Structure 1
């Protein structure tokens, strides 16, 4: 069983070939491919974590779609001062599918 831990969108995700992830917005190349930097590689009994060996590891994913996350509402309130503030946010996301670990 081959899997890798990759850095994607400020977080680390465990991926195998065929894994579908939702990460912070990334831009693919003209073919819709994205390279993800590997942090750890497990290939059967072999575990690779050295930076020089991981520089040769290539984790490729294809962009499936760009989407936006759920709306969150931020409210600030201070009692007895009349201070109220309301703000909303929707995170820009990308859904990707891992196509190869080499």
Structure 2
């Protein structure tokens, strides 16, 4: 059984027991979180929502928060002596999928 959920402007295919990293959510560590934007559910038979599946909920537990690997952003313009180097680490929330209810 799997579901496709939408959060943080992205879509994730999840199954029970999966650990996923999503865009940072304002939720305490150890708390329960519910995704109500379920785009599709497959429990032997595929149900696709228009745009979401009515009554479908994916429940997860927050494992923690962190920052991803550093991405280097380098800007350069030739012949002018202009160059700028920046780094960025994207914040994320790590979740463990507990259940998928249709």
**Do both share a fold (TM > 0.5)?**
yes
TM-score (norm. length: structure 1) = 0.86
Q: Structure 1 residue runs of 4+, over 6 Å off?
A: none
Alignment of 1:48-63 (within 5 A): 48-51=47-50, 54-63=53-62
Look up the match of 1:65: 64
- Counterpart Cα distance in 1 of 2:17 and 2:61: 10
Alignment of 1:1-102 (within 5 A): 2-28=1-27, 32-36=31-35, 37-44=37-44, 46-51=45-50, 54-102=53-101
Q: Secondary structure at the match of 2:87?
A: strand
Q: Secondary structure at the match of 1:51?
A: coil
CA RMSD of aligned residues (A): 2.0
Cα distance, 1:97–1:74 mapped onto 2, change above 3 Å: same
Which runs of no fewer than 5 residues in structure 2 stay unpaired?
none
Superposed CA offset, 1:25-82 (max 9, x none): 01236961111221000111x2111338712001011100100011111111111111
Which runs of no fewer than 5 residues in structure 1 stay unpaired?
none
TM-score (norm. length: structure 2) = 0.86
